[in-house]
Amino acid sequence: MLARLCSGTARRQCSALLPFSAAAAETSASATSTAARLAFSTSAYTPKPSTSASRRSASQQRVDHGHLPNAPSSPYVHNLDDAFFNEVRANTVLPPGSAAALAQSADTEGDHDEVARPGTGIPTFRLIDGVGKLLEGVTEESLNITREEARKIYSTMLFLPAFDLILSNAQRQGRISFMMTSAGEEAGIIGSASALGPTDEVFTQYRESGVLIWRGCSLDKMMAQVFGTEDDVCRARQMPIHFGSTDHHFHPISSPLATQIPQAAGAAYALKRTPSRQNDIVVCYFGEGAASEGDFHAGVNMASTLDCPILFIARNNGFAISTPSTEQFKGDGIASRGPGYGMDTLRVDGNDVFAVRAAVRAAKQRIIDTSRPILLELMSYRVGHHSTSDDSSAYRSKDRVEDWKRLDNPLHRMRNFCQDRGWWSDEEEESTKKAHRTTLLQAIQRAESSMRPSISSMFEDVYAGEIPASLQDQRAELARLIKMYGQHEPWAKELAKHRDQGNDLDNFARKDT
């Protein structure tokens, strides 16, 4: 599919980590171009020693691709001829214009936050440039999108900044305890969500709220989780924005990094063994920081070894909290790891919503057809702080962040694309932003006026069967403390927000103390 999307310049940018294996090459001998055989990479290859003509000079042995560290170039061509490699070797995370502009914006000597330098790393798949124009050779038909689909995608992308801003302000006002945003990564989140089926199982980290929004989850249910009301399906036991929805096949988010990766691999193995779900896949999102955890290696190895129908989507946004990618690993990003686990792999411009959408669609179909996992690496940039507990100005330049907002803004790229075709207007931009803000504020008001769960409910569903003695002791101690201090502030104010105001523990206090 990706090969059909690409021709000319775009085809040169639609490449992958490694070509097909020797056996696969024999079966695809009729392919007329190298790029046509490179929609996805595979680890099942037979490396050949490079000749003196193809061997690179010492100065070319280290490559730099976006916000990746300098990585050694491979000494093998892996069936990818030098002529084609030279055409894609300067490909960068960003369209050339943006990369050049950023490169000239400051002297980056010694700056770890170098995310736009040209290099010889793994090529990146993209379809539109930094201002929303189709790349040379990409046709309107190849995007496979209608006016209404494009409008829905952009409107949902536009919802995320409003969601982030209003809830971040709510945290600053003390109305919620915590918030994490997805600023700068809207295209990767909504682009991938739009390419999935409604029954594909989704495991995410904490920046993919947009996937749940795209799937149609009620905003009231999401605010119930954020504000910890009794309507929360997780019974208000999670930190804010740790969503979950069985109705939308969206598995609850966990705070510890990378725990969702082996869980997702297990879910994919279960799908594989379920005859009625052979057209569904599991999708697992995580950041490049999570890929530094042991669970990443355990999960992807399990998925590949057991031929699990799963799509791993790594968001490489440049930072794991304050640690830049350049200090996390020396290899060429996350995509370079895929072949080591026997997985087809593709690196994608994560700020190009059409490239993300096309890549995820093609990956899903390939997973269904081959019963093999696939790894996508979405190259993006975390514009916002890590969380409301972070101040990123302590470890990166504010000017650099503003450059990214201005030069490679996924929202601007999509808006320009739609406006160029008469699918969107300035008036709609303002009215949509206003409507999103109103919708969010109304949902927050409803959540804040709702009761929190009863105090006694926190002891329910912790263990199956009879409540153990240790938990009974804790319940009795809490009942004693509420009885002693419940009439005083701040206890009284907080208890008033809960169903039964803590009186539901009275019986336990009398019985257990």
Q: Where are the alpha helices (DSSP H) in 2-146?
A: 2-5, 8-13, 22-27, 82-88, 96-105, 140-143
Sorted by sequence, the CB contacts under 8 Å of residue 54 that are 6+ apart come out as 77, 82
Q: Taking the CA of residue 463 as centre, how many other CA atoms within 13 Å lie in the half-sphere pointing to its CB?
A: 8
What is the per-residue pLDDT for 44? Answer: 30
What is the per-residue pLDDT for 310? Answer: 99
Give the number of other Cβ atoms within 10 Å of residue 226's Cβ.
27
Of 374, 296, 314, residue with least CA distance to 339: 374
Backbone phi and psi for residue 271, each to the nearest 5 degrees, phi listed first: -60, -40
Chunk the chain into consecutive blocks of 10 residues (it has 513) and report each block's average pLDDT, rounded to whole numbers: 39 35 32 32 33 31 42 29 31 35 38 40 87 92 95 98 96 95 96 98 96 98 97 93 97 95 98 97 97 97 98 95 88 91 93 96 96 95 91 90 87 97 98 98 97 94 91 94 94 94 82 46
What is the per-residue pLDDT for 56? Answer: 31
Query: What is the sign of the dihedral through the CA atoms of 106, 111, 115 and 121?
Result: positive
Query: What is the sign of the dihedral through the CA atoms of 185, 188, 194 and 196?
Result: negative
Q: Determine the Cα–Cα distance for residues 206 and 197; give it in Å rounded to an integer.
A: 21
Q: Determine the Cα–Cα distance for residues 164 and 176; give it in Å rounded to an integer.
A: 13
Query: Can you say how many angstroms the Cα of residue 464 is from the centroid of all Cα atoms in its chain?
Result: 34
Q: Residue 222: what residue type?
A: M
What is the per-residue pLDDT for 83? Answer: 33
What is the per-residue pLDDT for 21? Answer: 30
Give the number of other Cβ atoms within 10 Å of residue 172's Cβ.
11
Cβ pair 299, 265 in contact under 8 A: yes
pTM of the model: 0.79
**Six-digit token string for 78:** 């892996």
Classified as helix, coil or strand, 324 is strand
DSSP-assigned beta bridge partners for residue 319: 324
Chain segment 307-329, per-residue pLDDT in tens: 999 999 999 998 999 998 888 98
What is the per-residue pLDDT for 403? Answer: 85
**Six-digit token string for 329:** 């690993």
Q: Determine the Cα–Cα distance for residues 435 and 432; give it in Å rounded to an integer.
A: 5
